[in-house]
Amino acid sequence: MSATPLWAEAPMESLRPTARSADFIKKIQPDAAELIAKANLNGAVGFSVADMSTGDLLESHNGAVGLPPASVAKSLTACYALQALGPGFQFETQVMATGGVIDGTVQGDLILIGGGDPTLDSDGLALLAADMAAAGITGVQGGFKIWRGPYPYLRGIDPGQPDHVGYNPAVSGLNLNFNRVHFEWRKAGADYAISMDARTGTHRPKVTMARMGVVSRSAPVYTYADVGGRDDWTVARGALGQGGSRWLPVRKPGLYAGEVFQTFALAHGVRLGPPELIDARPEGEIVATLQSAPLRIILRDMLKWSTNLTAEMVGLTATLARTQTPPKSLAESAEQMNAWGRETLGLTSMAFVDHSGLGEASRISPQDMMSGLRQLRLRLGIKPLLKSFAMRDDQRRVIEDHPLDVHAKTGTLNFVSGLAGFVDLPDGTELVFAIFAADLERRAKLTKAQRERPDGGAAWNVRAKTLQQALIERWGVVHAS
């Protein structure tokens, strides 16, 4: 009698892996401390996450520790402005004629009046000049004056930044092209052809208030000086190559806007003298007005592109509306916003020094940032203003159709990274969170010249962002209902 094979007959039921329960999947998730250690960020890491509907705190690590928010601060600035100004508020830039107008000729001065619009560009000034001409203005007997409105003038947002970085422009009541000038160069024989202009997609007016000189030296790449009322730049010849371009910050935005408006006015036959700054608003007749987009649109774009100038201007304008007194500095205006955060939202740790988050001395705890966003989601509808945050794989490629839907504001400084916002889970659960990381000791060692691209900065930032996503993915499993 022969032996029967072990599996001569198929079993009555095929063998299947045992389905893992939801509880088991939750239990095998790495805990937060393990994820933080793996990121190897040194410095401090803090986070807080809560259930959006109930406000119940789900997890926290260093939640009460004040850390730099970087551009995450803009989410609170947006709500500060919304509450003070309203979603339909519009900035206005105006042209005024003094002394009356006779047969199209302004008998006194022509005044370009800034209204704090951070989004004014060369296209807008072209429209304003056209409207002025359409109103019948053909000439000006007096001078061409610039009033920058009831706003402080600041040479830059953060004095600790390198001179040439475009994200740290001057702040003024009259701004143009985010207070940046376009520098372009191309090799022309043994030398370089250079242009400085106020370009947009449709206009490229040349400017003379910002000048560039090519100098034979190894370092620094750029230098800046205020020479004769102009922005005087130099660049190291060896850094230019065959050609290229970049945006440089403008330190005299009133004169910058004035020169560009002068160009457009001349195109309509109106010859203006050189722009001259004045310190007070004169009496006269408004002959042309340009309005910005509604504030809610401006804030949506600010949170998407993280424009520092926009944050500072909407913050200053909100403070002006709340106090009816022009703030003298960003720090003074930021303190008004801090007071609003404490009184309106109970954010006791909120201590910002500006509205954009560019200043490294700003502080807020993850717990307060999370709590503030939750309240502002309920009161002012902040969530639709926040951009969608893409989840990525190990190669930093976007994962299409990721099960977690994240809307958040990012924030990045050298060796500082933040993320705060909302996570929608597949089961309908909504979380609100804030994550901050900062290696302040390493940041403090940077020289001013190292701050544009510090050694190790990019790798540190990638690890911080990887940690942020790992925490969010953990929460998406552990806190699902």
Q: Which pLDDT score, from 0 to 100, does residue 29 have?
A: 83
CA distance 210 to 355: 27
State the DSSP string of 29-74.
SPPHHHHHHHHT--SEEEEEEEETTT--EEEEESTTS-B--GGGHH
CA distance 460 to 462: 5
Residues 467, 35: contact at Cβ < 8 Å?
yes
CA distance 101 to 436: 58
The C-alpha torsion from 136 through 140 and 144 to 150, rounded to 10°, is -50
Q: Which pLDDT score, from 0 to 100, does residue 113 have?
A: 99
pLDDT tens-digit map of 355-364? 999 999 999 9
From its phi and psi, is residue 318 left (phi > 0), alpha (psi between -120 and 50) or beta? alpha
Domains and CATH numbers, the chain: 28-87+294-478 (3.40.710.10), 92-291 (3.50.80.20)
Q: Which pLDDT score, from 0 to 100, does residue 24 have?
A: 61
3-state class of 420 per DSSP? strand
Q: Which pLDDT score, from 0 to 100, does residue 21 have?
A: 61
pTM above 0.85, yes or no: yes
Q: Which pLDDT score, from 0 to 100, does residue 124 have?
A: 99
If we measure between CA atoms, which residue out of 401, 383, 382 comes closest to residue 391? 401
Q: Which pLDDT score, from 0 to 100, does residue 16 have?
A: 53
DSSP state of 345: I
If we measure between CA atoms, which residue out of 296, 301, 337 comes closest to residue 320? 337
Lookup result for tokens 């994820």: 35
CA distance 250 to 394: 39
Contacts of 406 (CB under 8 A, 6+ apart): 388, 389, 391, 421, 422, 423, 424, 472
Helix (H) or strand (E) holding 296: helix 295-305
Q: Which two tokens stand for residue 195?
A: 């242009």
Residues 330, 354: contact at Cβ < 8 Å?
yes
Residues of the chain with pLDDT under 50: 1-12, 14, 18
Q: Which pLDDT score, from 0 to 100, does residue 478 have?
A: 94
Q: Which pLDDT score, from 0 to 100, does residue 452 have?
A: 86
Q: Which pLDDT score, from 0 to 100, does residue 27 have?
A: 72
